[in-house]
């Protein structure tokens, strides 16, 4: 008897399954096809993104090689790359382009253009904070020979914190500007902070010690 009941139960389940399939089978098929298409589309998109990033990386490396070789087309290549809208390479290209503008500047107008390029990077909230702080530092250092001490302090002091990545270079910039403007007390404070900071790079510490000796010696009579 149990075999008969089992067969009847299986028959009922089979009939119900067939009925469900007749009613909803097309929907199941459509859902499965949509899922497969979505997965394929996602994989295609990822593949295209990888190709684009690889191409951008290769173009960036080529532009850097041009810049390192002092080739005249370097800035044009970096400018083209900086116009991109995704990934890290456009921002990296902007930073390197501003650096090239500063390195090759031969007059105040060209130097001002480089400072403006760094200021634009520093003001871009879409960029990582470290990159923005680097741009602030570079702009401030470019102004040391021409700007008042107050301007240099305004630009560089925010970078001087206990854990600031660029605090050492920012202090050096303030010290140089203070020394240039004969504000020896401020120069001494900045230089001593550099020397006393255990994390100051050795090369920068040596420069600070040398400048500290010059400041303490006073003006040449």
The closest of 96, 29, 27 to 60, measured between CA atoms, is 96
Q: Could you tell me the end-to-end alpha-carbon distance of the chain, in angstroms, rounded to an integer? A: 122
Structure tokens at 71: 């080739």
What is the model's pLDDT at position 23? 74
Tokens 């080739």 found at: 71
The residue whose two tokens read 């080529």 is: 62
pLDDT in tens, 56-74: 667 677 767 776 777 778 7
pTM of the model: 0.72
| Cα Rg of the chain (Å, integer) | 32
Q: What would the mean pLDDT of 26-55 be, rounded to a whole number? A: 62
Q: What is the mean pLDDT of residues 77-100?
A: 82
Report pLDDT digits (tens) over 12-39: 566 666 666 677 667 767 766 666 666 5
Q: Per-residue pLDDT tens for 128-157? A: 999 999 999 999 999 999 999 999 999 999
Rounded to whole angstroms, the Cα distance separating 167 from 144 reads 16
For the stretch 69-103, what's the b/e string if a residue is b when 16 or more beta carbons lie within 10 angstroms of its beta carbon?
A: eeeeebbebbeebbebeeeebbbbbbbbbbbbbbe
Angle at which helix 89-104 crosses helix 108-122, to 10 degrees, equals: 160
Give me 14's structure tokens: 């089979």
The pLDDT value recorded for residue 5 is: 45
- Which run of H or E residues covers position 217? helix 202-217
> Does the structure show a pLDDT above 70 at 108?
yes
pLDDT tens sequence across 158-209? 999 888 999 999 999 999 999 999 999 999 999 999 999 999 999 999 999 9
């Amino acid at each position: 008897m149990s075999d008969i009941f089992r067969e009847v139960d299986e028959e009922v389940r089979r009939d119900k399954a067939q009925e469900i399939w007749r009613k909803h089978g097309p929907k199941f098929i459509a859902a499965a096809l949509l899922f497969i298409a979505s997965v394929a589309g996602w994989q295609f998109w990822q593949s295209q993104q990888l190709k684009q990033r690889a191409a951008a990386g290769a173009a960036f490396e080529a532009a850097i090689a041009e810049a390192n070789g002092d080739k005249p087309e370097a800035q044009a290549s970096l400018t083209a790359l900086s116009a991109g809208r995704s990934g890290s390479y456009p921002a990296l290209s902007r930073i390197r382009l501003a650096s090239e503008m500063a390195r090759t500047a031969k007059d105040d107008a060209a130097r001002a253009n480089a400072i403006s390029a760094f200021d634009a990077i520093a003001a871009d909230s879409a960029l990582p904070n470290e990159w923005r702080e680097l741009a602030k530092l570079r702009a401030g250092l470019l102004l040391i020979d021409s700007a008042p001490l107050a301007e240099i302090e305004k630009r560089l002091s925010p970078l001087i914190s206990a854990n600031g990545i660029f605090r050492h270079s920012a202090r050096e910039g303030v010290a140089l500007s203070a020394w240039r403007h004969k504000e020896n007390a401020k120069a001494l404070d900045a230089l001593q902070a550099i020397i006393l900071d255990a994390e100051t790079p050795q090369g920068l510490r040596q420069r600070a010690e040398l400048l500290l000796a010059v400041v303490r010696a006073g003006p040449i009579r």
